[in-house]
Amino acid sequence: MPVTPLDQAVIDFMQSLGLLIRRTRSESYAGELSMTEAVVMSRLANDGPATIAALARAEGMRPQSMGTTIASLEELDIVKRTPHPSDGRQLLIELTPKGVQLRKKNREAKQMWLSKAISELGAEERDTLLKAGEIMKRLAEK
């Protein structure tokens, strides 16, 4: 089946987003973390403490694989396990103060890089990009 101009534009758009995400990530201090470790940190920061099973479900992983990821983050003192308040058989994973600080530092570094890059665009391109961001947010919320 031939690729339509819209299909090709969508493919190009997705590739551009991927490049921007990778570039932004490279500007952070999380270079030593795997993508999964960074995603887990983000999820814990945004959603709060969670069990390994809940994190695994949220990321579409097996609990054993998530356990390995959590163990790596524990070795770096980025997360810790705490008793579940209502189920003594479970443990919750949460960010440590070091993890919270690293997350903040990473977010600031990425934002600083992106702000500088956007500020170097012309006014018309900058306005177009920021309007596109609003549209992309609406698409993501569908």
Evaluate whether 67 touches 52 at the Cβ level (below 8 Å). yes
pLDDT tens digits along 76-120: 999 999 998 888 888 999 999 999 999 999 889 999 999 999 999
Distance, first Cα to last Cα, the chain: 28
Same domain, 84 and 129: no
Say whether pLDDT at 68 is over 80: yes
Same domain, 115 and 139: yes
pTM over 0.85: no
Q: Considering all CA atoms of the chain, what is the largest pairwise distance in Å, rounded to the nearest integer?
A: 57
Cβ–Cβ contacts within 10 Å for residue 57, how many? 13
CA 111, 116, 121, 127 dihedral sign is positive
* Cβ neighbours of residue 134 closer than 8 Å, sequence gap 6 or more: none
**Residue 29's pLDDT is what?**
67
Say whether pLDDT at 31 is over 90: no
Residue 97 CA to residue 16 CA, distance in Å, equals 34
Mean pLDDT value across residues 55-68: 95
Lowest mean pLDDT among 21-30, 70-79, 80-89, 124-133: 21-30
Range of the domain at 73: 32-95
Q: How many domains does the chain divide into?
A: 2
Same domain, 41 and 68: yes
Same domain, 38 and 84: yes
